[in-house]
Amino acid sequence: MAPESPLREAHPAERAAGIDFYVSDGDGIGGRLRESPEDFRVRELEAFEPEPLGADPGSYPELVVRVTLRDWDTNDFARRISDALGVSRERVSWAGTKDKRAVTTQLFTLREVDPDELPEIRGAEIEALGRAGRGLSFGDLAGNAFEIRVADAVSEAPERVADAVSDLRAFGGDGGDSAASGPAGDDAATVGVPNYFGQQRFGSRRPVTHRVGLAVVRGDFREAVRLYAGNPAETEPDDTRAARDRVDAAFGVDTGSEATGDDSGPAADGTGDGDWEACLDAIPGKLRFERSMVHRLAERDVAPDAPPDGDDWRHALEAVPSNLQRLFVNAAQSSLFNRIVSERLRRGLPFDRPVAGDVACFADGDAPDELYAPDTDRLQRVDEDRVSVVARHCERGRAFVTAPLVGTETELGDGEPGEIEREVLDDAGIEPGDFALPGEFDSSGTRRAILLRTDLDVTFEDGDPRFAFALPSGSYATVLLREFTKSGPLDL
């Protein structure tokens, strides 16, 4: 076992999701994000070229519009514009879902809609751009460009930002010793951070989705239902905590508001009262998915000591929408990835270049110029003879070191990287074949770059820093910002 890392330890809520460390040493600038929507601006970078507006609607039935939203949830806006147009919600498509408390600019496609039918909607600027033969999908999103202000930062913010930028430049392979870049000058600095999945992947207030997913992958559908419907968090309202306590009692767990966030919390022992009707009486209507799960248990009068891998428990878990079922397993994969990344950090292995046993991917040659984007469909194993060649590709931004998002088709690395991957899976009691699951829970897996690199420009307005950068799709702005704020997930 390698010696303990000198890296700065992360916030406890982050560590519960596998985010164990910071890579910048200094104290944070504190402050708050999203004091107003204008403090968090996001502009999509799409790989989508529409035809002109005058193109034949018969061949190009999708109207492509650019929409700038202020304080709008993407799904809520989609419902609002479909209602205003008098069309089905299914005729509205987009590439990426954005946070509500922000100003966001992105494309939407509206099937069989003419430009002169576009409505006026408060908090939305809608501009017709052209036509397309198909609606937008997630694969059309190449990345996002951000402009984020941190309000009420400490007075030492300029010095602390400069120190963090130096650390992150070094981590990303850019030297980190030039005073002419980043906050000290007018040019952006190329920085790097671990490509963690951010806390919002798991739930900022109640990080539970990955724990549910890990239980599913282990074949314990009973514990998966219990973790989602029971398992109260200290940050939840009193009525919600009381309801979850009642569900835990039905399962035979008396935790006194558990919610440690640990992947291996107290499991249901089957000695509960199984009074699902009493649980339904306790669960408020706002917890509609939890009510749906427990309602299915009540319908089938499921005994709390029924086999944990039984169909009744799975039937209850499948009361939630299919996208949430997939999210459970995706979050489990994400937490395992985070733990692999953290262990690599702890051992002091590089992120900007490979070591023998790594699996690398090449850069996405079609990505917008603003992005350092990997193409994980183009993989190459790095044996001892190829380390220096692939390292040169990484240095030039042409390749990235990866780690697995484990699934049934995952081939683990060799050497020390493979040792880390196997150690994390062994600790979780999981192997790749366990992801051969029924229905929406099945996953073949993929790989993901371990280094998130971007060109960062920082300016100051009335003492508060404003960060400008771009990230490929699937990466998290908060993973970069946490290195500067050193705040807990709820402050991001």
Distance between CA atoms of residues 141 and 155, nearest Å: 38
Distance between CA atoms of residues 156 and 441, nearest Å: 48
CA angle 296, 298, 304 (to 5 degrees): 100
Tens digit of each residue's pLDDT (9 = 90 or more) over 388-416? 999 999 999 999 999 999 999 999 999 99
Tens digit of each residue's pLDDT (9 = 90 or more) over 316-340? 999 999 999 999 999 999 999 999 9
pLDDT recorded at residue 491: 80
HSE at residue 375, side-chain half, CA atoms within 13 A, is: 11
Distance between CA atoms of residues 452 and 469, nearest Å: 12
Sequence spans of domains, the chain: 38-143, 220-308, 331-451
Distance between CA atoms of residues 268 and 2, nearest Å: 35
- Could you tell me which CATH number the domain at 38-143 has? 3.30.70.3160
Using the structure block, give the residue that is written with the tokens 């984007």: 373
pLDDT recorded at residue 488: 85
Q: Which has more pLDDT, 203 or 331?
A: 331
Tens digit of each residue's pLDDT (9 = 90 or more) over 441-458? 999 999 999 999 999 999
* CA dist list (Å): 242 to 155, 232, 292: 42, 8, 18
pLDDT recorded at residue 5: 55
Active-site residue list:
99
Distance between CA atoms of residues 129 and 138, nearest Å: 19
Say which CATH topology domain 331-451 has: Pseudouridine synthase (3.30.2350)
Query: Which alpha helices (DSSP H) does 230-265 contain, by range?
Result: 238-251
Rounded to two decimals, what is the model's pTM? 0.91
pLDDT recorded at residue 180: 32
Distance between CA atoms of residues 448 and 280, nearest Å: 41
Where does residue 176 fall: left (phi above 0), alpha (psi -120 to 50 degrees), or beta otherwise? left
pLDDT recorded at residue 187: 65
Question: Predicted confidence band at 203 (pLDDT cuts at 50, 70, 90)?
Answer: confident
Tens digit of each residue's pLDDT (9 = 90 or more) over 123-177? 999 999 999 999 999 889 999 999 999 999 999 999 999 999 999 999 999 854 4
Where does residue 450 fall: left (phi above 0), alpha (psi -120 to 50 degrees), or beta otherwise? alpha
pLDDT recorded at residue 268: 55
